[in-house]
Amino acid sequence: MRNKVVFLVSALLFSGLVTAFGWSSGVLRTNLLTKLTTSIKAKLPEKGKKKANPIRMRPVEVLALAPKELGWVDSVFSTLTQEQKIGQFFMVATFSNQDEAHYQYIETLVRHYHIGGLIFFQGGPYRQAVLTNRYQSAAKVPLLVGIDGEWGLGMRLDSTMAFPKQMSLGAIRDEAIVYRMGSEIGRQCRRLGIHINFAPVSDINSNPSNPVIGNRSFGESKENVAIKASAYMKGLQHTRIIATAKHFPGHGDVNVDSHVSLPIVHRSVEQLRDVDLFPFRKLIADSLMGVVTGHLHVPVVDNTPRLAATLSEKVVTELLKKELGFRGLVFTDALNMGGVGRLPSEEINLKALVAGNDILLYPENVPDAVHRIALAIQKGEISQELIDEKVKKILRAKYWAGLNKTAPIALENLDRDLNSPEAKLLKQELCEQAVTIVKNNNNLLPFGALDTVRVAAISIAADYGNPFQKTLSGYAPVKHITVGEKPTTEADLDEIIRQLGDANTVILSFHRLSPTAKWNYGVTKPSLDLITRLKQRGLRVVVCAFGPAYALRPFIGTQADALICTYEDGEEMQRVVPQVLFGAIPAKGAMPVTVGDWRIGYGLFTAPSGRLAYSLPESVGMRSGQLQRIDDIVQKALRDRAFPGCQVLVARKGKVVFDKSYGTLTYNNAYDRVTGETLYDLASLTKVLGTLQAVMLLNERGAIDLNQKVAHYLPEFQNSAKRNMTVSDLLLHQAGFPAGLPRAVERAKVQSGLRSGFYSTVRDSLRSLQIGPTLFAPPSIRDSVWSWIVGTPLTAKVDESGRFNYLYSDLSFVTLQKIVERVTSQPIEVFLDENLYKPLGIGTMVFNPLQKRSTFRVAPTENDTWFRNSMLQGTVHDQLAALQGGISGHAGLFATSQDIVKILQMNLQKGQYGGRRFLLPGTAPLYSRNATDRSHRGLGWDKPDPDGNSSYVSPHASIRSFGHTGFSGNVVWVDPDYDLVFIFLSNRIHPSAANTLITTHKIRRQIHEAIYQSL
């Protein structure tokens, strides 16, 4: 009995295979029967278990329409002549970057040969829209318009978006975002009058040497390919774009380019069925609407010599349609490709139709092909019934795509609609999720304590000022070494190493990598030797391979401490990878192919560390269009000469979403542009970004008590009217100190000019303290200034209880500086650098920047004709701070907005940043709340004006918000209620501090309001 069962099952299965594949060879039949019988005997289910699923899949009627909808199809069909019916099979290639002769030729095919569709290739979106309108108006039956946009319109059209290639998507663990990408590409297609996207590629790239698929595939895992391809397909079709799976029955395991010649698929029946057909079965079951047949020779299905699957009835009709049950549109691959064969073009078109294809893609010689097909119908080579069935299927697809109601493509706002902020954000998110870490010795990544990490970034084969290096600089002071050409000699390596300085960590990025093994994936031997040389110097090395997954192969066995695969080398990916390195975003990606020991699905996770990320406004619930109003506000201010230039930065929910530089350093040089690296004199922002931070740190450590009298720390106040003032009085500007320029500055200068003999225009052994660009004084002047401040009378008014009222005074923070330095026995700049700035990764927040590094680009402030008689650039503007050598508790800091935001974000995050706790959770909120009934201020911080009349703060700012301004034209503002940070830096006092337009025009307030309106 058992033998009978085996034989019966074997016979049934074999019968199905023969029917499906159309085999006729007796020898093949005998060999296959033996093989199948043996296999089935081994795998026969035990009694009581379910049998294997039948071979044939249940058809999915994806183009079924309701009777009312079929009325349009029947109505159109009834009007068609034979020639018009035949024309529906042709989808002709066209371009929007050609001349009028080409456009007239296409229009002739539409009018006189009644072609059914067009596939657009190179050109631009606006030109394509104009041409589509032109061609549609010439068509009797609306045209199906297609594009080969595997990674979006940008694959073919300029000024449009190119999303990551499919291998990159294969590294993403969450298919939901692939669906979103498919949906967005579908939206863009519909906006441009496109109905078909020839995507997704559903081939399994099981051959790393594949010359034509490679990055176009989701990878070598059949399950991953099936899941991602299905997600992409559903996204397209849910936006009413016909998706097409290609290249049936599987183009992944070949080593010949089908554009040039005919590849042979050397697969067994089992391999083809189990591997290559797997994604197609999945997509068909998920209601796939289109399939592209491949120019492949598949002997196990059809052993006709040199016959492409495109032209094989056994492949297209028997396997695809009958066995897999596909009921959608079947497209040929482009019929101009070398792989399809060398028959006359009209014969190729006919054979493709007879094989079972519905639409002939990129046909050649349409007039002769139409005539040949008509003749074949007359001769009975192809039946009229089959022709009519295909035409009606095409018309049903046109109805489904909405071509029963046609309207011209709207040209207005086309560029804006195709490049929406939401689409740009989606592209960034795809890149973020794809980044894959395959090696991370000792959990080097993400970088932790930045005060112990001295980073150099070597970019091989990269452009100078590339986005990767620019983004790195947003996280830490990085020494950049850009190597435009790939190193080829030991001398090249010597020059690179010479530039490293004191770096202990090197980020080595490789660009312009190749997907093929030829020339070692684009990695030179000296480039690999560089890793060895760096390790021999005791350096930690992080390698970032900006290229396809297979390009990791040269790095197998290297001594790199960490290795990252990015899959692509576009701007978005170059901006994303530094965020992974520094822990702003996590690493999530997984290998889509196997490279060495890094198997499919392998990828190391990292956790975010709380550092700022960089993203688009839409990622945090803001609108890019509204934020662009800042451009208009600033440009008008520049025209009005309110300031020569500025930096504006906005961060929300832990992400920098707006970071722009405007204008120039001066009014006189249009070429000296403000950049993100430009340092501004922060003036009174020094109070909150420097001195206040030091006080908070020391307060937590018990070194400073806010309720303690100042005289406790500064005995020189003991026997004076200042003996009862407290530290909190200083922070609240309620200590009684006078406002305005203190007598110390007046005493340092006499009416007739600077005191002869006391100052010098050159530095010498006696006068070594720089107080101006070309002005030096004895260091002892700092002690004199402090003595004058100690003796300054208190002039603020007192209330009924005898306490001083609020009176903003720089002297309060000069005094706080002295307290910090006494309790730490350190200069305040050293304390801040060691305890705050370096650990935060801040490299530009410095006193006396030109003394620290001559390469700093510093915006000039005032042409000081009152005291120092020179243009101030890199020397502090504030006169009192200048008399202290440029270092004071109330002024003296210079910085960029990118470094300032780190301090503000740390305060907003209640003392935590970059995986490190700087302050206890309650400290920052304590200092930033309204602290007294005598003013609206907090402890050190400014607060919103209760009357709402501020010239720099939006009335929409919450009561919990806090910030500060600087005399040179700056403002920082933090709003915990909205998780929002705003920074504005300018040099409005250049060339004269008399320029107050920034205040009278309320420019900073206007910008702040635009930010709130974007929420």
CA-nearest of 90, 82, 81, 127 to 109 is 90
Go through the chain and tell me how many residues it has.
1015
Q: Residue 151 and residue 231: Cα distance in Å, rounded? A: 14
Structure tokens at 852: 């620290």
Q: How many CA atoms lie within 13 A of 892 on its CB side?
A: 27
Contacts 24+ apart (CB under 8 A), 39-45: 40/6, 40/9, 40/10, 40/13, 41/6, 44/5, 44/6, 44/9
* Contact (CB, 8 A) for 266 and 298: no
* Degrees, nearest 5: CA angle 684-686-688: 95
Q: Which of 112, 259, 266, 712 is catalytic?
A: 259
Q: For residue 966, what are the contacts with CB-CB under 8 A and spacing of at least 6?
A: 681, 682, 683, 684, 685, 686
**3-state SS track over 546-578:** CCCHHHHHHHCCCCCCEEEECCCCCHHHHHHHH
Q: Which strands, in side-by-side order, build the sheet including 455-460?
A: 436-440, 562-565, 540-545, 505-510, 455-460, 478-483
Alpha-carbon gap, residue 199 to 204, rounded angstroms: 14
Query: Which position among 148, 253, 333, 492 bears the catalytic label?
Result: 333
Spatial CB neighbours of 2, under 8 Å, sequence gap ≥ 6: none
Q: Comparing C-alpha atoms, which of 833, 842, 473, 451 is closest to residue 659?
A: 473
333 in catalytic set? yes
**Cα radius of gyration rounded to whole Å, the chain:** 36
Question: Please, which residues bridge with residue 439 across strands?
Answer: 563
Q: Are 794 and 738 in contact (CB under 8 A)?
A: yes
| Residue 493 in tokens | 């390596």
Angle, helices 345-355 vs 366-379, to 10°: value is 50
CA dihedral 634, 908, 696, 874 (to 10 degrees): -30
961's tokens: 């918000």
Residue 615 to residue 424: CA distance in whole angstroms: 10
Q: Is 933 a catalytic residue?
A: no
Q: For the chain, how are helix, strand and coil distributed in percent, rounded to 5?
A: 40, 15, 45
Q: Are strands 678-681 and 857-858 parallel, antiparallel or unpaired?
A: parallel
- What are the two backbone dihedrals, phi and then psi, of residue 713, each rounded to the nearest 5 degrees? -95, -30
The answer to whether 297 and 338 are in contact (CB under 8 A) is no
Q: Which residues are catalytic?
A: 259, 333
